[in-house]
Structure 1
Amino acid sequence: MHREILIRFDRCLGCLSCEIACAIAHAEEQTLLGAITQPKPPQKRIYVEQVESRKAPVTCRHCQEAYCIDACIAGAMHRTEEGVVTNLGREQKCIGCWMCVMVCPYGVIRRDGEQRIALKCDRQCLDDQKVPACVRACPTKALVFTTVEEFEAEKRHQYLASLT
């Protein structure tokens, strides 16, 4: 079973810690100072959005039926053995056609105009415990890196606990 980045919506404060951690993890020096001072700012791959009073981090879901893979005319977008949908690590390179941007139902693929490649969550930010930077940085634990089955079980336990 693959672990996913899942969200406890009721815990998100909209603090942007996940966005900052993502940008730092993708910076050349991987430090806050390094990210701020490098000539080209690092690109985040998670977005905190707000609709009315609800705030929520949004990132690539690495969908089972990934439209971005089907739409990639270069053949760069693919699924790794770990279940990560990415356009990195293949002989075929992203050509910047932006088809993946157009078909992503979550709007989480962005373009890097300078390199002319699509950017999205690539899970290249995992630490020694194999936890993504955005999850590590979340002060309220709104982001969790777990299996869907474990997440479901936790929600059931929370619900039952609230009944007593």
Structure 2
Amino acid sequence: MKRIKIDRKKCIGCLTCVSACLVSNNCADSRNRVVLSSDFQFSPIFCRNCDLPECVYTCMSGAMRKNTETGFVDYDKDKCASCYMCIMACPYGTLKEDKATKKEIMKCNMCTHHPDGPQCVAKCPMAAITLEEV
């Protein structure tokens, strides 16, 4: 199973990963973000595709599910009841409401639609974001 790994020491806060997400998903809001930590280091924040994902456990409609083949947490917008329980349950604050539709969830999809995989990884100029087998 592959997961995004972040080396905070390499991140310069350029927001290329955020821009890559916007372009890859053709949307007005990114599925990731970069914050400045209390020790003044840039910290990219991504969905961790948790082993025991709280977003999946709290989803009453079955819109969030753990894909046993890829290990990713998949989101099915057609099943979503817009209750936002997944947003409230995520301990990392990576899920958010899609402001364009006001009823869907914005969640990292690992750019499964892109032949080169996650574009945040592909476009990071500092190689601070990598995709690694775990």
TM-score by length of 1: 0.74
* CA deviation after TM superposition for structure 1 residue 73, in Å: 1.0
Deviation at 1:136, TM superposition (A): 0.8
Q: Report deviation, 1:115.
A: 4.6
State the SS of the aligned residue for 1:49.
Answer: strand
Amino acid at match of 1:84: F
CA distance in 1, matches of 2:30, 2:37: 20
1:137 maps to what in 2?
123
2:70 matches 1:82? yes
C-alpha separation in 1, matches of 2:21 and 2:12: 17
Greater C-alpha Rg: 1
Task: Judge conservation of contact 2:24–2:114 (CA < 8 Å) in 1.
Answer: no
Residue 55 of structure 2 is matched in structure 1 by: 68
Q: Which residue of 2 aligns with 1:22?
A: 21
Q: In structure 1, give the amino acid aligned to 2:93.
A: G
Q: Which residue of 2 aligns with 1:4?
A: 3
Question: Residue 49 in 1 paired to residue 35 in 2?
Answer: yes
Q: Structure 1: where are the runs of 5+ without partners?
A: 28-40, 149-164
Following TM superposition, by how much is the alpha carbon of 1:86 offset from its aligned partner in structure 2, in angstroms? Answer: 1.8
SS at match of 1:9: coil
- The structure whose residues are more often helix, as a share, is 1
Superposed CA RMSD in Å reads 1.7
In the alignment, the residues of structure 1 paired with residue 73 and residue 29 of structure 2 have an alpha-carbon distance, to the nearest angstrom, of 18
TM-score (norm 2): 0.90
4+ aligned runs moved over 2 Å, structure 1: 124-129
Larger CA deviation: 45-54 vs 60-69: 45-54
Cα distance in 1 for partners of 2:30, 2:57 equals 24
Q: 2 CA distance for matches of 1:117 and 1:127? A: 21
Equivalent residues of 2:111, 2:119 under 8 A apart: no
Alignment: residue pair count: 131
Q: Percent of pairs identical after alignment?
A: 33
For the residue of structure 1 that corresponds to 2:94, the secondary structure is coil
Letter in 2 for 1:8: D
